[in-house]
Amino acid sequence: MRKKKLLVLALALLANCHFSIGQNIRYVNPLIGTDVQRNVTEGLADSEVKGQTIPAVGVPNGMVSWVAQTMSNEQKCYSPYYYYQDKIEGFRASHWASGSCMQDYGSVTIMPVSRQLLTKARERASLFSHTNEVSKPDYYKVLLQDYGIEAEMTGLSRSGIFRFSYREGERKFLVIEPNSDKGIARIKIDAAKREITGYNPAHRIYQGSGKSAGFCGFFVIQLKDEIIDYGIWKGDNLHRQIDVATGRKERVGAWIELGGGGKNVIVKVGTSFTSIEEARQNLKSEIPAWNFDKTRKESATAWNHLLHKIQVRGTDETKKQQFYSALYAASLLPRQFNDKDGTYPRFASLFETSKSSHDYYSDFSMWDIYRAVLPLHSIINPRLLGDFCHSLVTMSEEGGWLPIFPAWNNYTAAMIGDHAIAALSDAMVKDIPGFNYEKAYTYMRKNAFEPNKDLKSYQSGLGRRALESYLKYGYIPLEDGVKDAFHKNEQVSRTLEYAYDDYALAQAAKVLGKTGDYKMLLERSQNYRHVIDSQTGYARGRHADGRWVEPFRPDKPCSYICEGTPYHYTWFVPHDLPGLQRIMGKERFSERLDNFFRHNYYWHGNEPGHHIAYLFAMTGEAWKTQHLIHQILQKEYFAAPDGLSGNDDAGQMSAWLVFSMMGFYPVCPSQPYYVLGSPSFEEITLHLDNGKKFTIQAQGYSEDNIYIQKADLNGHPLKVAAISHEDIMKGGKLVLTMSAEPNTQWPAKEYSSLLQSRTPDEP
């Protein structure tokens, strides 16, 4: 009997060991999005026609992305790696926000060279061919043609390991460069210890541009082989047998020559945001041995564990590549910021540290990731999402305000909206553990109700932009230019996003039983009405005296709209579509929505439009959503380096793909519901952290059979094209009967009826 129990226990443990079941890492192509997009939209800036992703090696949401470097700077909107470039300058411990138009910071690059010692990035760069390049989440390999060196790298969250294979008999040099564009860095060689240490100070952009971010990227490089010669370089000057270089206004670096009879050189690198000693301890903890293959296996295990959380079944291998590559890209940010022992740079301070029992994360591209990246984690990584939320609360405590768009571990007002509120609220209504709801609400409410009267800190990014105008008028009038923001003006877009954020905050108030706040915020969430012109039926700029802006073209970019047109932003009322329909007129609403797609006004390459195709399903025409989702998938995504139609923006483009290929999408975070689209696989199984499984079966699915004829959740018919977060987390089965013909009769009810029947008016 005892043996039988042990056998059952062993089998149960094996079943829970996700990475032993599937090796989905084999489907991931990290090069997707590293090239110029296939179908370039006219009039976009150079950075906007690229996915801006990097082929990052490491672990999910790790501190460092280990990446081949084709671009040496840390300038805004320049990724370390572009597929179309033909030379590699080295291998970087990068903090680039993958898919963004931000900047790298605190990075260091290592480049193996032979024969002749060359130090400057473009001079030492080697030609390479993609035919000799292997890119995986756990591993990167390339042949440096100019030197005949095969370079391999793998890594974990804070540490990496390289294997450089030189030609027999060649001299073995390494060049190390802290990538400080400002020329402020330090590097030191300890030949006796076979160690190079240094740091690269991080600097801010957006609010506080050019100022110190209050921390550095520290690094420790350790070598297995003896250092037989060394030196430093400053600008154009090379110095031998000098072991320290400090840059003040010029780029600096170090070089070493290694002895040893073998061809292979093993290099280990530890990093930290707090000190060189912490970098050394991080390396000792994560990669204690000189074992490249063991580290690679650990990285692969971490990725396979994540990637197996969603198991897809289908015959189309290319779609699997797209799906798992997108899941990988949506799992790089926010990044871990603390050392192994919990030490991290105190938020928005100058070179102070704190210690946390939780993992601390930063680099929240919040305008992007609140839409789909964070809701995706609410399903597959609730504990990680709890740590994200805990980090946002920690930032609020340390800085005094809930951050709008925390990057470089500092406040910024980089984009518009106040969407940390939406992110925290979505976590609360889904009962995500790991953070203090009351404490979070205190800072959420402060952002929504208290204008920051301290001009200096406001200019540095603390507090909601233009809140005084918003509270006074119920909208932001054109007279308020929102001068203390990176994106100035954009008054209508800000109003619409604040109205949504007020709705999200109302839902948090409901969770906490704060009836007065709930009612007040629900009323404020109707402020969107002040910038939707009922006569034209479009979002439109408005003056302080109530006059609508003239002249008016809804299909043209304008100063009061953020990264789009009034036509795009008219649909940004995810929390009250029935109200928007009443303003526009239901018939005109439907006609406008049809024309928006029919006449190609839709722009998938930027975030404000990501929910729009799902609006049909919310208003009773689910078949149109089903058609459009597959059309977007075919036109905007490809399993190739040019396979993204815009910046991935910290994984948001990819998270949209993950959700849409599964067949549902979080149109309105802070409502615990997902609107149904149409899946791209015969079966999708979610392996939940609570030990349960949720399966979506698309019976009869094919490239032609994309329309849902009926849907049954756990044997009961769905009358609304939506499922709840609770439905998923309880486990169960959603069975979709697919056909080539649209079913214009399903669903019988609109999404609003779901909210009315399942969400009470009072908390």
Quick one: angle between helices 751-758 and 577-584, nearest 10?
Answer: 130
pLDDT of 17 above 70: no
* C-alpha to C-alpha distance for 92 and 360, rounded to whole angstroms: 23
Q: Which residues contact residue 566 at a Cβ distance below 8 angstroms, ignoring those fewer than 6 apart? A: 492, 538, 539, 540, 552, 553, 554, 555, 558
Whether the CB-CB separation of 711 and 718 falls below 8 Å is answered with yes
Token code pair at residue 562? 């953020």
What are the CB-based long-range contacts (under 8 Å, 24+) for 181-184? 181/73, 181/74, 181/75, 182/249, 183/247, 183/248, 183/249, 183/250, 183/251, 183/252, 184/247, 184/248, 184/249
pTM for the complete prediction?
A: 0.96
For residue 281, give the 3-state DSSP assignment. Answer: helix
Q: What percentage of residues in the chain have a pLDDT greater than 90?
A: 91
Q: Which residue has the higher pLDDT, 637 or 261?
A: 637
Q: Which of 590-628 are b and which e, b meaning 16 or more Cβ less than 10 Å from the residue's Cβ?
A: bebbeebbeeebbbbbbbbbbbbbbbbbbbbbbbbbbbb
Mean pLDDT of 263-278: 97
pLDDT of 391 above 70: yes
**Tens digit of each residue's pLDDT (9 = 90 or more) over 65-86:** 999 999 998 999 999 999 999 9
Token code pair at residue 752? 């609003």
Other Cβ atoms closer than 10 A to 101: 18
Other Cβ atoms closer than 10 A to 156: 25
At residue 161, φ and ψ (nearest 5 deg) are -140, 140
* C-alpha to C-alpha distance for 519 and 558, rounded to whole angstroms: 34
**Tens digit of each residue's pLDDT (9 = 90 or more) over 250-259:** 999 999 999 9
**Tens digit of each residue's pLDDT (9 = 90 or more) over 190-223:** 999 999 999 999 999 998 899 999 999 999 999 9
CA 61 to chain centre: 9
* C-alpha to C-alpha distance for 584 and 534, rounded to whole angstroms: 6
**Tens digit of each residue's pLDDT (9 = 90 or more) over 484-497:** 999 999 999 999 99
List the single range of 46-55, 270-279, 453-462, 491-500 with lowest mean pLDDT: 46-55
The answer to whether the bond into 137 is cis (omega within 30° of 0) is no
User: Which is nearest to 363 in space by CA: 403, 314, 319, 318?
Assistant: 403
Location of structure tokens 């105008």: 469
pLDDT at 4: 42
Confidence of residue 757 (pLDDT cuts 50, 70, 90): low
Residue 170: CA count within 13 A, CB half-sphere: 21
* C-alpha to C-alpha distance for 389 and 437, rounded to whole angstroms: 9
**Tens digit of each residue's pLDDT (9 = 90 or more) over 671-684:** 999 999 999 999 99
pLDDT of 7 above 90: no
